[in-house]
Structure 1
């Protein structure tokens, strides 16, 4: 074979061999053996690099694309078993690219990471789950730019960080990055973002945030093109550039906007509002061996237009906040900060030097024209309702410290000047304030000094001078001439806005502070005169006090009542470094003489139905554990809960460390005697109480209920033990109790307490039935209880007589019940109770009700469950069931369907007259709203009071017949968290009778909204028709408006504002036998419900009236209401009439209380004649010429009364019976005159002289 062929075959063989090797290698790479080998090598290298434990679920390699897929990669750190791993990724994809076969260069074309999840944990000991990586054995360093990774992408990443030591927790979701490589020039361009991140610190609410970041990295620099971190509506924007990685220098710009509401959840007690912005530049340079604080430079501006904060009901508002700052070389300088607040301004500057070592800080602040009223109004506008501070605050303050704040030195000089009122009559609630405050504090020397400090109010003056230090000498003096004003001022600064305490009088206080700051000695002398507290009156009150770390004393304190009685007190208690212990020595002397209990209760802010005069004498020494002394107290003229008490006295004395006391009470109904011995050191006691015979028919409160009770009750208590292990036996017996509707016999209740258990047994007989109850309670732990109540069939009449104010005659009924209770009394959610009522029947007159099957209710897990129940009776069929949670916010679930005969109410309240049927279809399930329908059919009640205990009542459509018209209601009433209502009322053709003698038909469209503290009734009222009742009398109508108003008591009506427009038809007419009037009105009703104010105008176009049997024609009339502060009608009206042959015109002008009248007549008459003619029907000359005998005068008076009565009875416009009307002066006779308005335009008149036949006059006027 030739050499040429040999070489050919050799190359062919080598080629075939290479092909075989390549094919074999290709198939080997697809085998599981290779995959296992590759996974082992990758895990080995990963463990060596990270120090953790790596797990790979699977591997897939494609040779054609040089792509490897790794699945379920897990890296575990030092976390324990059962805890999430340090790192887990669903898939890792690596694509490579061959750059040069000869030079063995391969680059990463693409790196893809899908759903990586990182869990970092830090324990309370500070240890984390990050593994400790072993030191690298290789000295080579690979440049990331030489790797030239073409594309890196991370999708759907998550990070969870939990630091229990700090405590701090954070988590990130939707973490992603997308990075691309460019070769000319070498650079990486990429983005990084995440969504739905949360940062939690301690118990504060978490902060949700998002991030978007864009960067460009080159071998010599890094550009942060955009950094945008968003927290709610707040954001941080940053642009920066870093050069020279080995000696980095960075420059950038930042813009921060803080929306304070985003951080409100971190401090629930404070509700902020407003935005704060910070803008500026930053610079960083690498300074070897220097703190980072010196390498950073920040320049910036801060600003805010408005900042608000509400905390504990107080509101603070800052405006125009602006300032600048600079951080450089470890020093922070804030050259100027200014803000507008409280009607003035505040400016400040600050410096903090050497932040990298021992900081030295200083602050200077200046206050300009700060309004005291604005500070007071932090609590709301109502804060200045009782008393409003008037003054401006100016001054300056300086503070400086080095290192710790305990080294603080501060000084302030403040001046308050009362504001000059621009009003000629300033409000009485304005309280001008003048004063100066000079204050300094020296932390290193522990010294506080106050010099030339003085505050002056119209009602008080306060001065202070001195120093508190190791050699304190501070003098404080306060003189108050009006304690009520001071109390109002103090109340205005409280957040609950409650009414100021009812206190008045004058007082002086002189106080001194001496000694050292660690052991100060405080002494004070307080004197008050003409003191009134909560309705009690005291002539003087004096007290001298002294306190130091070893003791507190009260010397010769006295309180003298303005009417009778006084009390004096001297006391001393030993202390140990301001702390009291029960072994410390005590001393007390108290002497009280005839102090009225009512005054003492008012002084304490209590109101019990107890009265009497207290006298007491107490002497006490020793200690709380070893008391020594004696005392006594008596109450004379005592009354308690309506019962007079003849004797009420208590005494005590001590023997061998025990307190022996007795109590004696004697009343007309019986006597109670009690003895108690108590040893404080051992907590041992011995008690005895004996009430041998309490005669119930002599108990006043029981007799007031008119129950016809007759019986005698006895009680006894005996016990001996300790407070921690009590023993007691108590018995209450009532052999027989006679009542008007039945009797109760054999009542006996026994209570036995022993071995930390209480055992109660109760038994009685009601008529022929019996009631038995038994219960036990463990007096330790959660107070486990087990109780049972059982009855047989018992009549309802005695029970109704006991608890109801009255029992209707003829009422009959019976019931039976069984109940059990088990569980811990301290944990109500674990109590279990059962109630069963197998029998319930009642009958009154023609009304009967009962239950066809037993009513059952259960209580468990804080839920009352009513099993399906039904009540049947006359015209009644009601079915109900449901669940009612007790406590918590869970809504009830209830259903009630059926109809109820309203006459059933007469069983329980016979004084209520009721009729009609109420239909129900109510549901409450799953929500806090009660839905359904309530129907009323022919319902009539003389009294109505039906509260419904739900959180919100919605009135979808409620109609009623009122005054012959139709009334529609709609809206809602909320009961929780407070009562709020929004109710619309629409009425059509409703008749009312107000004022007396008038009948009005009106349409309404009103809205009632608000709360029980503030509400408004607004809308429109249209008067369609106006008429007069048969008993209408114009004189009495005028008397109603001339009578003074009775002052109303404070109540709900004061909180209801009115805004109602009252209008009439364009030409409203009203006709009666005495009045015919036409006109129109347009009025506004404002003010409050207890003090309404009417404004507007009423115009009378025509009409006539009979006033005191004289006919008047209305020519014109206008009534205006112009005063917006009170109802003040102003009249401008003209009327005319004819009396005898005189035509009279009366013009009335002015307000009703200052009404002026002008009189004109034709033929002319003097004013006195006109007045006499109107009042008596004759001129002064005619009146003088006529002389009446006594009989005639009496006859005239009787005739006047008779004519008035007949006039009202018959509905006649005018009836006159006058013995002097007819005949001549020498022979007087009697005349009868009748006038009757037939229609609006027709008046009929008839008169006759009874002594002269044929003298009748009949006249019709149209």
Structure 2
């Protein structure tokens, strides 16, 4: 305190007019800083005008003769953040205080109104014997009680209640926590002008709800708050499937020390690793250290039937069983078992928690079905490693494709249309894409069984790029014995290769050569290129003009047999396939068949135009039966039974429309 001014008058009636400067003002543990004001003493009346110290401002008049004080004071935007961030959040942000009234020295009376930016409100009423307090933050907490005055300050007992443990925990921890419930109790409060406020309390009722399970306080427990230091006595919560004993201290400088033991819901692990939505139960024995800004844990946690979200994975990791080591600033995993995408695996590594969450996890997995879109879910077994901070994860490893069956209804027209439209489609949105570098061996385990193709493929692939822009490198080739089908005509696959060369897209390059027999002509069809830019080739034996070959593969007859409307019929066939496929897809589900095709441009044995219906049923992996019939009154049915005896070896038995039978043994060998 420093003053500069003029002092005069007599000892009985002094006069004073001065400027007062104050520095490092501290009240009840709250720093207000520096300030100044004007002081005037005349005829026994002391006036303080324009006093400002930090957020505090006041005007006061003290009549020493009448022993009476008139005060008008405010504290605007009082921030508690520098003292205690949790206390500041509990108060609901910055506080406004207002005190006005006349206060006799012998029996001071008045009311202090309190409000905060977070909705807190109430009053502190000063009476002849002490103080009455009624303050609340609606839907979060409330506090009421009376403090008696003594020589040191004020002391007394107050009652309190917390209506939302979720909000209280958010205020104390600084982030959202998966806890709900309520509590109530009493506390002794001591306020002295030269010391921090002290609270000695007892929690008598406590209910906690996590993942729908409710736990209650086994017995009351004590706590102490002195300034920004908080001490929680040992407490035990008991629920139907969980129990927890905990206690600890938060020092004035933010340091933490405590211990937690018991079985509790895994959802509480979100306090350590947010945004993972963990479920299950955890048996935990751990000590707590560090600071409230960066807590540290040391101990063990055993997880039973847990699940959580891991960045970079397309589905939750479930059925987690195993022991976790809680070490300073990290969680260590040692052969923790899990299931993911229908498969199982084990995980070893650690999750660093400070200064940021960072993963270093090595995984072994088996029969994992990773979705690649378009109905393809390859079944994988192998090893992988997920490394990096959450904002820059990378997934590397090697896997083997286990037997994978692809049965999505598919036709050539749809493939071409999807290939043309693919470049203009929106890319996947991923705020933190995961980088891929995953090798995949395909040892003849990819089987396609669709309307378009029946084949088995082998090769080597590498998934690269990111989860937002995945790419594939490598190649696949079809094993001997594959078949293709287009426009109702079945082709034997002579050569089938698919290459991938774009590291930022899944863009297959096809090299296909297929052969069939139509009206005694051996037709060979080749397709080379990408889906949006494919070059076809047609040859026949005996040789035919290109247009005759195209007419044969699209309509089953040569151009001179189709007539002048042939060109329009070919185009119509392409378009109507899109319509009939939609109907056939629904019918396949209802009739329990593998393929159902409607060809509106067929013909009878006599050459009359008619629609043709073809039904295919796969009786086993290597045996299929095909029935083809026209839709006229004079049914002409062709029944074909095909048995795959081995790679490239087929046995076809056929009943023709005229009632004749044939049996063919086919062997395909690649030179």
TM-score by length of 1: 0.34
Contact 1:900-1:918 within 8 A present in 2 as well:
yes
Shift, 1:1206, TM fit: 0.9
- Give the match for residue 772 of structure 1: 144
2:499 to 1106, 1114, 1120: 1120
Q: What aligned pairs does 1:274-313 form with structure 2 within 5 A after superposition?
A: none
- Give the match for residue 447 of structure 2: 1070
**In 2, Cα distance between the equivalents of 1:1233 and 1:821?**
88
Shift, 1:1032, TM fit: 6.3
* 1:1238 and 2:606 aligned: no
**In 2, Cα distance between the equivalents of 1:681 and 1:732?**
20
**Structure 1 residues 184-209: Cα deviation after superposition (integer angstroms, max 9, x where no partner):** xxxxxxxxxxxxxxxxxxxxxxxxxx
* 1:1002 and 2:380 aligned: yes
**In 1, Cα distance between the equivalents of 2:262 and 2:479?**
57
* 1:1207 and 2:570 aligned: no
Shift, 1:962, TM fit: 2.1
Shift, 1:1246, TM fit: 1.0
Q: What aligned pairs does 1:1012-1161 form with structure 2 within 5 A after superposition?
A: 1012=390, 1015-1029=393-407, 1043-1044=422-423, 1046-1047=426-427, 1051-1053=431-433, 1056-1064=434-442, 1066-1074=443-451, 1075-1102=453-480, 1103-1107=482-486, 1109-1123=488-502, 1128-1138=507-517, 1143-1161=522-540
Shift, 1:1136, TM fit: 3.3
- Give the match for residue 894 of structure 1: 259
How many residues matched? Answer: 509
* 1:854 and 2:232 aligned: no
- Give the match for residue 325 of structure 1: none
**Structure 1 residues 25-63: Cα deviation after superposition (integer angstroms, max 9, x where no partner):** xxxxxxxxxxxxxxxxxxxxxxxxxxxxxxxxxxxxxxx
Contact 2:183-2:203 within 8 A present in 1 as well:
yes
Contact 2:594-2:617 within 8 A present in 1 as well:
yes
2:122 to 749, 755, 766: 749
Q: What aligned pairs does 1:463-542 form with structure 2 within 5 A after superposition?
A: none
Contact 2:134-2:143 within 8 A present in 1 as well:
no
**In 2, Cα distance between the equivalents of 1:681 and 1:932?**
51
Q: What aligned pairs does 1:276-355 form with structure 2 within 5 A after superposition?
A: none
* 1:923 and 2:286 aligned: yes
- Give the match for residue 762 of structure 1: 135
The alignment's C-alpha RMSD in Å is 5.8
Contact 1:1061-1:1082 within 8 A present in 2 as well:
yes
Higher relative contact order (CA closer than 8 Å, sequence separation 6+)? 2
Q: What aligned pairs does 1:584-623 form with structure 2 within 5 A after superposition?
A: none
**In 2, Cα distance between the equivalents of 1:1147 and 1:816?**
80
1:980 to 358, 371, 375: 358
Please give the secondary structure, in 2, of the residue aligned with 1:867. strand
**Structure 1 residues 879-924: Cα deviation after superposition (integer angstroms, max 9, x where no partner):** 3344556756x6744232225498999xxxxxx999x841313323
**In 1, Cα distance between the equivalents of 2:331 and 2:210?**
33
Shift, 1:1244, TM fit: 1.5
- Give the match for residue 664 of structure 2: none
- Give the match for residue 952 of structure 1: 330
Q: What aligned pairs does 1:374-773 form with structure 2 within 5 A after superposition?
A: 730=113, 749-750=122-123, 761-762=134-135, 771-772=143-144
Contact 1:876-1:901 within 8 A present in 2 as well:
no
**Structure 1 residues 198-241: Cα deviation after superposition (integer angstroms, max 9, x where no partner):** xxxxxxxxxxxxxxxxxxxxxxxxxxxxxxxxxxxxxxxxxxxx
Shift, 1:1194, TM fit: 13
**In 1, Cα distance between the equivalents of 2:530 and 2:610?**
43
**Structure 1 residues 866-890: Cα deviation after superposition (integer angstroms, max 9, x where no partner):** 43323222323333344556756x6
Please give the secondary structure, in 1, of the residue aligned with 2:378. strand
**In 1, Cα distance between the equivalents of 2:201 and 2:411?**
63
Please give the secondary structure, in 1, of the residue aligned with 2:636. coil
Contact 1:1057-1:1086 within 8 A present in 2 as well:
yes
* 1:1251 and 2:632 aligned: yes
Shift, 1:966, TM fit: 1.3
**In 2, Cα distance between the equivalents of 1:680 and 1:766?**
35
- Give the match for residue 84 of structure 2: none
Contact 2:132-2:144 within 8 A present in 1 as well:
no
Shift, 1:796, TM fit: 6.9
Shift, 1:1062, TM fit: 1.6
- The alpha-carbon distance between structure 1 residues 1174 and 1198, as it changes in their structure 2 partners (threshold 3 A), is same
Contact 1:1093-1:1125 within 8 A present in 2 as well:
yes
Contact 1:1073-1:1212 within 8 A present in 2 as well:
no
Please give the secondary structure, in 1, of the residue aligned with 2:492. strand
Contact 2:135-2:142 within 8 A present in 1 as well:
no
- The alpha-carbon distance between structure 1 residues 977 and 902, as it changes in their structure 2 partners (threshold 3 A), is closer
1:790 to 159, 176, 188: 159
- Give the match for residue 498 of structure 1: none
- The alpha-carbon distance between structure 1 residues 799 and 1200, as it changes in their structure 2 partners (threshold 3 A), is closer
**Structure 1 residues 1009-1037: Cα deviation after superposition (integer angstroms, max 9, x where no partner):** 33356554321122112112566677666
- The alpha-carbon distance between structure 1 residues 988 and 943, as it changes in their structure 2 partners (threshold 3 A), is closer
Please give the secondary structure, in 2, of the residue aligned with 1:977. coil
**In 1, Cα distance between the equivalents of 2:529 and 2:608?**
45
**In 2, Cα distance between the equivalents of 1:1132 and 1:1000?**
22
**In 2, Cα distance between the equivalents of 1:1085 and 1:1147?**
28
**In 2, Cα distance between the equivalents of 1:871 and 1:679?**
51
TM-score by length of 2: 0.59
- Give the match for residue 878 of structure 1: 244
Q: What aligned pairs does 1:1173-1184 form with structure 2 within 5 A after superposition?
A: 1174=553, 1182=562, 1184=564
Contact 2:447-2:457 within 8 A present in 1 as well:
no
**Structure 1 residues 739-786: Cα deviation after superposition (integer angstroms, max 9, x where no partner):** xxxxx9xx9623689xxxx9974159989x98537899xxxxxxx999
Please give the secondary structure, in 1, of the residue aligned with 2:583. helix
Please give the secondary structure, in 1, of the residue aligned with 2:625. strand
- The alpha-carbon distance between structure 1 residues 1106 and 1218, as it changes in their structure 2 partners (threshold 3 A), is closer
2:301 to 890, 910, 933: 933
Shift, 1:840, TM fit: 2.8
Please give the secondary structure, in 2, of the residue aligned with 1:999. coil
Contact 2:352-2:358 within 8 A present in 1 as well:
yes
Please give the secondary structure, in 2, of the residue aligned with 1:1237. strand
Shift, 1:838, TM fit: 1.8
- The alpha-carbon distance between structure 1 residues 818 and 944, as it changes in their structure 2 partners (threshold 3 A), is farther
- Give the match for residue 630 of structure 1: none
Shift, 1:1004, TM fit: 3.0
**In 2, Cα distance between the equivalents of 1:870 and 1:1107?**
71
- The alpha-carbon distance between structure 1 residues 972 and 774, as it changes in their structure 2 partners (threshold 3 A), is farther
Contact 2:407-2:448 within 8 A present in 1 as well:
no
Gaps of 5+ in 2: 1-48, 60-71, 75-95, 102-109, 172-179, 271-275, 291-295, 310-314, 321-325, 644-671
- The alpha-carbon distance between structure 1 residues 958 and 1238, as it changes in their structure 2 partners (threshold 3 A), is same
**In 2, Cα distance between the equivalents of 1:919 and 1:885?**
28
Please give the secondary structure, in 1, of the residue aligned with 2:426. coil
Q: What aligned pairs does 1:905-920 form with structure 2 within 5 A after superposition?
A: 917-920=280-283
Shift, 1:971, TM fit: 0.9
Contact 1:1109-1:1215 within 8 A present in 2 as well:
no
